[in-house]
């Protein structure tokens, strides 16, 4: 019998019992649909995290103090005072270091901030003018901290849009107004553009002041909490990390790199970590979806086994009239493949629709990879063959006399 003929015959058989056929297909629809939707969700999360991290500066290297091992205890980064302004200047002016574009020495601490009747406990960051370009920050209005502000230890502040919203609730422009940081009066000279960042350092709710002012006037310290650097390109990130690392080790007179009193992170490291984390997340979600697909496949097998039992007489008759094993096998396999393939097609549509709704509701990206759709088709046809095989084989091995006797 020709395959097209078997196809139409199988389709006819399947439409006879619409409820059962529908329920069998539903199992596959849910399986394929959830695989598509969850892979899409995972990829959207991965992309949005990636773009957020990249928005913080793709070629960014950060040196944090501390991290030296004293016995078994590893000091928390930022908890020690080993990083100085002189280190930053040395890195910036060194002729040995060729892979770094610019350097930004930073001191960050928290302090109470008052503006009019509002107050907030905010992160105060002492910065140099290079901070703006290294951290890919832009000004919404006003100006950023200048060399003069830094040299003269001016009491000026640049606010993130988040803190503006917290402190200036009446909607007036804060530029030119004053705020009090730890009791000292600062004039606001600029507001940064929102980066929409979350997690890590939320740059939107930061207050920037000149580094010298932060160190001497506000916090009374002479060390740095971090040095940020921009590498010349993303290709030299590793080289830059090594160059700066060995340079600082030499400066700090440390011979054993494992005893370094600082650590260097690249944005790439964070990106890699985040990507692999969300990758794991996606794999986990897909795993859950794959289980529902498996359950759907077992549903198909169950339906096909019931069908074979129900149609024992029919199979016996077909064999008595001349049907060969292969014809019977193909007939039942065709039925299960039609079931899973239809389930696959509907499942892809449901999955795409679900991903679209999820992306709208959570206002995230809408990503559907053609790879996951291809996968869904291959898997659904595969399930049809895999779970249809056993019932089909059983049908083809029925002896015609046994089958004809069957009531």
Partner 1 sequence: MKAIIEASHLMKVYKTGGIETLAVNDVSFEIKEGEFVAIMGPSGSGKSTLMHILGALDKPTSGKYILDGENVENLDDDELSDIRNRKIGFVFQAFNLLPRITTLKNVMLPMAYADVPLEEREEIATRFLKMVGLSDRMHHTSNQISGGQQQRVAIARSLVMNPALILADEPTGNIASAQAEEIMEIFQKLNDDGHTIVMITHEPDIAEHAKRIIHIKDGRIDSDKNIHQKRLVQLKRP
Please give the helix or strand (H or E) that residue 357 lies within, else none. Answer: helix 325-361
Going by C-alpha positions, the residue among 206, 178, 171, 207 that lies closest to residue 116 is 178
The number of CA neighbours under 13 Å toward the Cβ of 282 is 18
From the list 71, 322, 363, 370, which residue makes contact with partner 1 (rule: CB under 8 A)? 322
User: Taking a C-beta distance cutoff of 8 angstroms, is the pair 224, 88 a contact?
Assistant: yes
From the list 36, 323, 338, 368, which residue makes contact with partner 1 (rule: CB under 8 A)? 323
What is the chain's length?
407
Residue 11 is a binding residue for partner 1 (CB under 8 A): no
Name which of 110 and 405 has its Cβ closer to partner 1.
405
Residue 401 is a binding residue for partner 1 (CB under 8 A): yes
From the list 78, 109, 142, 400, which residue makes contact with partner 1 (rule: CB under 8 A)? 400
Residue 109 is a binding residue for partner 1 (CB under 8 A): no
Name which of 323 and 352 has its Cβ closer to partner 1.
323
Beta strands in 198-352 (DSSP E): 206-210, 226-231, 262-266
Residue 313 is a binding residue for partner 1 (CB under 8 A): yes
Q: Which stretch binds partner 1 (CB under 8 A): 175-183, 200-208, 214-222, 312-320?
A: 312-320
Q: Which stretch binds partner 1 (CB under 8 A): 24-32, 136-144, 180-188, 322-330?
A: 322-330
Please give the helix or strand (H or E) that residue 127 lies within, else none. Answer: strand 118-127
Residue 76 is a binding residue for partner 1 (CB under 8 A): no
Contacts to partner 1 from residues 13-52, by CB under 8 A: 16
User: Taking a C-beta distance cutoff of 8 angstroms, is the pair 167, 115 a contact?
Assistant: yes
CB of 279 to partner 1, least distance (A): 51
User: Taking a C-beta distance cutoff of 8 angstroms, is the pair 233, 190 a contact?
Assistant: no
CB of 371 to partner 1, least distance (A): 41
Residue 147 is a binding residue for partner 1 (CB under 8 A): no
From the list 326, 353, 369, 378, which residue makes contact with partner 1 (rule: CB under 8 A)? 326
Neighbours of 173 (CB within 10 A): 12
Q: Across-strand partners of 320?
A: none
359 CB burial (10 A radius; 0-12, 13-18, 19+): middle
d(CA 41, CA 226): 35
# binding residues, partner 1 (CB under 8 A): 22
Rg, Å, the chain Cα set: 33
Please give the helix or strand (H or E) that residue 115 lies within, else none. Answer: strand 100-115
Residue 5 is a binding residue for partner 1 (CB under 8 A): yes
Q: Which stretch binds partner 1 (CB under 8 A): 33-41, 75-83, 225-233, 395-403?
A: 395-403
Name which of 18 and 253 has its Cβ closer to partner 1.
18
Interacting residue ranges for partner 1, rule: CB under 8 A? 1-2, 5, 12, 16, 313-314, 317-327, 399-401, 404
């Amino acid at each position: 019998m020709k395959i097209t003929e078997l196809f139409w015959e199988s389709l006819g058989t399947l439409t006879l019992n619409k409820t059962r056929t529908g329920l069998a297909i539903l199992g596959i629809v849910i399986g394929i649909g959830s695989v598509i939707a969850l892979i899409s969700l995972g990829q959207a999360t991965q992309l949005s995290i990636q773009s957020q991290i990249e928005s913080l500066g793709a070629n960014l290297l950060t040196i944090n103090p501390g991290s030296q091992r004293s016995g078994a205890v590893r000091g928390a980064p930022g908890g020690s005072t080993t990083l100085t302004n002189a280190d930053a200047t040395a890195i910036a002016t060194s002729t040995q270091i060729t892979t770094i574009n610019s350097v930004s020495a930073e001191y960050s601490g928290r302090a109470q901030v008052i503006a009019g009747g509002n107050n907030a406990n905010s992160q105060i960051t002492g910065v140099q003018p290079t901070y703006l370009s290294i951290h890919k920050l832009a000004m919404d209005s006003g100006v950023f901290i200048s060399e003069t502000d830094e040299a003269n230890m001016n009491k000026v502040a640049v606010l993130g849009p988040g803190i503006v919203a917290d402190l200036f609730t009446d909607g007036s422009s804060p530029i030119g107004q004053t705020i009090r940081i730890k009791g000292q009066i600062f004039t606001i000279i600029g507001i940064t553009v929102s980066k929409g960042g979350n997690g890590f350092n939320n740059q939107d709710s930061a207050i920037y002041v000149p580094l010298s002012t932060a160190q001497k006037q506000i916090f009374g310290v002479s060390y740095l909490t971090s040095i940020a650097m921009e590498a010349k390109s993303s290709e030299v990130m590793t080289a830059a990390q090594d160059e700066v690392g060995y340079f600082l080790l030499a400066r700090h007179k440390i011979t054993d790199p494992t005893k370094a009193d600082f650590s260097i992170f690249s944005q790439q490291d964070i990106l890699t970590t985040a990507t692999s984390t969300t990758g794991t997340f996606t794999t986990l979600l897909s795993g859950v979806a794959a289980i529902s697909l498996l359950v759907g496949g077992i549903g198909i097998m169950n339906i096909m086994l019931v069908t074979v039992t129900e149609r024992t007489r029919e199979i016996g008759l077909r064999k008595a009239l001349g049907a060969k094993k292969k014809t019977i096998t193909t007939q039942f396999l065709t039925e299960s493949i039609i079931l899973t393939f239809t389930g696959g097609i509907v499942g892809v549509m449901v999955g795409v629709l679900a991903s679209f709704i999820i992306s709208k509701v959570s206002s995230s990206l809408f990503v559907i990879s053609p790879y996951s759709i291809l996968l869904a088709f291959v898997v659904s046809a595969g399930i049809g063959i895999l779970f249809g095989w056993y019932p089909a084989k059983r049908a083809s091995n029925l002896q015609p006399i046994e089958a004809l006797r069957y009531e």
